[in-house]
Structure 1
Amino acid sequence: MKVVVTGGGGYVGYHVGWAILAGDHEVVLLDVAAPDPEWATTAPEALHDALPDDFWTGEVTQGSLEHVKCDVTDLTSLTLAMKGAAAVIHTASYGVSGKEQLSPHFDQQEKVNVGGTRAVLSAALTTGVRALVYTSTYNVVFGGKALRAGDESAPIFPLHAHADHYSRTKAIAEMLVLMANGRISAAASSPSVEGPRAPPSASLRTCSLRLNGVMGLGERRHSRRVIEAFRSGLLIFTYGKKDAIVDFVGIQNVVQAHVKAMMALLREHTVAPSEASPGPPPVPCDPLSPPSSPSGVSGHAFFISDGRPVNHFEYFRPWFEGLGHAFPVLSLPFAFILAFAYLQEYVYRLVYWMFPFTPFVTPAEAYKSGIAHYFSCKKAEVMFGYRPTRPNDQTQAVEYYVRKGYFRSSSKGISPLSVILVAVLCLLVGLVLFLCCQ
């Protein structure tokens, strides 16, 4: 079986592809950038319990894993790469964190997240792909307001009210994916307008997996920012309330969910109509509300996490302690860090063209880390057998960074950056108090 992974040069895309390769399938990783070569050695350890030993059954051929340089918005290249593919895992995105979230990069977010998704769907329909799993985000329903113990009945957050453009574009992309569910592929379309309708097996089946805080061995984007923050002395405080708990998800559970969802979509093609349970019809569904039938994976969105919500900073306590740093004892009101985040965004917009620094925290990241939002994985557990393992366990990642020499052997005192950060925060506090007294 051939499977195409868009964004295959990224952390999630590569590891999903690696797990599918373990089933001796042909995997094509599409990305403008190549995967980190080190992942080839860390993936077996990171994913040792992602899937049961007997998960891959049946007759398989010799597998292969190939990276193909491809822009996700290039329809011609996508169509060529997807020829003969049974399934597509669409992980490609832009703007998930850091400076890429800010306004100077809105056009690129729109191009990749919305335009790229349109191109991927078009190529999949043209080439007769049977299943497409979309890597979405909690952000499609979370916009800075607390959501506790939610589920998939939560509506898409109003597009105009999102705290960042990335979340807005991901919501639009998810709607496009779910509306494409059940569309008949061009490869299976009858040349006769009056001819019989194509069988359900000729249609594209789609679903969406909503992730939050992907972490694990080999992860670079989020973990290195956290490590560099407390190694440089910048992360000397927490913020928000202790009960502002959130979900994280380990890479082994991300991979498990993607592979099981893909296989569930493919099975929906092979079940005879008389044996199939009634599910979402092979026509576009309404993405603003859950499908009316609970049967069948296609047409549905699913929340995927470790299933153990935790305070954002407490989640990283093992990193502090494991790498020889003291956990922060100072806690600031959320309003101050949010004001600081918006101040950084304003400064970035002024100087990014000559000094594209990475903000300590963006407004969207402040909301994500300081406001409670967590969801049940029950729907994924029931509908395609998702079973999270090692919830919130970061032992592998901490041991990896210790081996890499990130352990702090001695105190270096307060860094100049810490002094500057505290000074800026004090100025913000003074400004707020001044305005309140007017």
Structure 2
Amino acid sequence: MPLTRRNILITGGCGYVGYNIALALSRDPRVTVILYDIHDNESIKFSLPANIKIVLGDICDEERLIEVLKDNCVTGVIHTAGYGLFGTSNLPAFNDITQKVNVDGTRSVLRASEQVKIQALVYTSTLNVAFRGHEIINGKESDIPRSDQGFLDDYSKTKYEAEQMVLAEPSSMRKTILRLGGVFGPNEKAMLPRSITAISSGLLNLAYCLKSDLKIDLVHIDNVVQAHVKALNALLCPGDACQADQQIFSITDGNPTNLRYFLDPLNVALEGRSLNPMITVTHYFSIEKARVILGYQPTLPTDLWPRILSSYGLKKSLKTTRGLFSIKFDVSMPLIASSCFALLFSVCLAVLQTCCL
């Protein structure tokens, strides 16, 4: 942990990933964290530790960024802000916004950080920049198609373009890119709650591939936080040599999983129905580079599912059956959403694109 005071700015800081990183950093009283976000977050603003504060602003507004970085004497930036990953925002109709936030916004963050002479920047990306629909087994960070074609969606394409800018931008600032698998955990706002809402309200018969040997990468929020903190500390470490500088790291739980194992207990408990198969492709990546250079050591809490489910207000009883959970739920009314067309699209895209691709 740091030996001197540090002021860290997190773009998209009021989001799930950014906020959890901030909480971890704030445990050191010598660290001040600035949550820089275009939107306030009422659910967290009144319970923030004393050394975390929210500052409203747009990452595309370079002048505002420079002002905030200077006023708060920021030494390091964690750039988690992004757009277009989930739901209707992933539709082609929103591609212009996705391009503006993910590409133009990242360019603005880089320029502002360089002008203020920020020491270190950690950029949060996605494993999907390397996935073009073909099987990947223990993929390495360098195993990325040369072509800029074949992306699953505009979100993946724009994150790839942003990665190229981060690495190409000439700068004395140290920079690292973290490519995340599908993020989950307590109070996660996208994958799991959308799945719960869809199943419990009868909107969607959840579909995923039933092939027992098909595996993809997921990453628990605790491991996401660990990777960001270790990457930041590596970049800010005094000295000329920094192994993490100008590097890309795949960040997952290190245990590729089949979605039948991961989500079937939830579906059976809420609906008791079998799931329809869909065709998809095994793809998972090695985290060896992050282990060696960052000292990244992914772990999962022993009470993984109880913590996650209780965060959504679900009452449950758990027992283990051949390695799987048998779960009973009392689904509260807030989880029963209206059966509107937009929500159905949102659920389908969030679950099928993010989890199954």
Structures share fold, TM-score greater than 0.5: yes
Alpha-carbon distance in 2 for matches of 1:328, 1:239: 13
2:178 aligns with one of 181, 184, 209: 209
Confirm or deny that 1:259 pairs with 2:229.
Answer: yes
1:79 matches 2:66? yes
Match of 1:316 in 2: 263
Over 3 Å counting, the alpha-carbon distance change for 1:175 and 1:102 in structure 2 is same
Q: Which residue of 2 aligns with 1:243?
A: 213
Q: Choose which of 132, 155, 159 in structure 2 pairs with 1:170.
A: 159
What is aligned with 1:338?
none
Q: 1:215 to 1:72 in 2, by over 3 A?
A: same
Distance 1:231 1:89, change over 3 A: same
Q: In the alignment, is residue 372 of structure 1 matched against residue 282 of structure 2? A: yes
- CA–CA separation in structure 2 for the residues paired with 1:379 and 1:95: 28
TM-score (norm 1): 0.67
Show structure 2 runs of 5+ residues with no match.
1-5, 317-328, 333-337, 345-357
The 1:325/1:65 distance shift into structure 2, 3 A limit, reads same
5 Å-filtered alignment, 1:56-135, equals 64-83=51-70, 84-135=73-124
Question: Equivalent of 2:254, from 301, 307, 311?
Answer: 307
Tell me what 1:436 maps to: none
Contact 2:120 2:235 in 1 (8 A): yes
For 2:298, give the aligned amino acid.
P
Residue 312 of structure 1, CA deviation: 2.1
Change (3 A) 1:332 1:138: same
State the Cα distance separating 1:156 from its structure 2 match.
Answer: 4.4
Q: Does 1:398 align with 2:301?
A: no
Q: Which of 16, 20, 40 matches 2:21?
A: 16
Shift of 1:253: 0.5
Residue number among 399, 407, 410 corresponding to 2:330 in the alignment: 407
Taking the aligned partners of 1:230 and 1:40, their CA distance within structure 2 comes to 33
SS of equivalent residue, structure 1 residue 381 = helix
Q: Percent identity?
A: 38
CA distance in 2, matches of 1:326, 1:416: 17
Question: Which residue matches 1:331?
Answer: 276
Post-superposition CA distance 1:366-418 (Å, at most 9, x none): xxxx3211111111011011111107933311122245897249xxxxx999x
- Gaps in structure 1 of 5+ consecutive residues: 44-61, 185-202, 280-295, 335-369, 410-414, 422-438
For residues 177 and 51 of structure 2, the distance between their equivalents in structure 1, rounded to whole angstroms, comes to 26
2:84 is paired with a residue whose SS is coil
Residue equivalent to 1:3: 8
Could you say which residue in structure 2 is the equivalent of 1:232?
201
- Residues 238 and 329 in structure 1, CA contact (< 8 A), matched pair in contact too: no
CA distance in 2, matches of 1:127, 1:318: 50
Q: Secondary structure of 1:229's match?
A: helix
Between Structure 1 and Structure 2, the one with more strand by share is 2
Within 1, Cα distance between the matches of 2:118 and 2:148? 30
For the residues of structure 1 that align with 2:290 and 2:11, how far apart are their CA atoms?
Answer: 22
Q: What's the offset of the Cα at 1:64?
A: 1.3
The higher radius of gyration belongs to: 1
What is the alpha-carbon root mean square deviation over aligned residues? Answer: 2.6
Within the candidate set 138, 141, 158, 2:127 is matched to: 138
Letter of the aligned partner of 1:29 in structure 2?
L
Secondary structure in structure 1 of the residue aligned to 2:143 = coil
| 1:39 to 1:235, Cα distance in 2 relative to 1, 3 A | farther
Cα distance in 1 for partners of 2:273, 2:42 equals: 32
Residues in 2 aligned to 1:102 and 1:157: alpha-carbon distance in whole angstroms: 25
Equivalent residue, structure 1, for 2:192: 223
The 1:95–1:237 alpha-carbon spacing in structure 2 relative to 1, beyond 3 Å, is: closer
Q: Is the 8 A contact 1:317 1:327 kept in 2?
A: no
Q: How many residues align?
A: 314
Aligned to 2:355: none
Say whether the 8 Å CA contact 2:10–2:34 is kept in structure 1: yes
**Aligned equivalents of 2:151, 2:339: Cα separation in 1:** 35
Q: Is the 8 A contact 1:11 1:219 kept in 2?
A: yes
Which residue identity lines up with residue 37 of structure 1 in the other structure?
S
Shifted more, 240-249 versus 21-30: the winner is: 240-249
Paired residues of 1:5 and 1:13 also in contact (CA < 8 A): yes
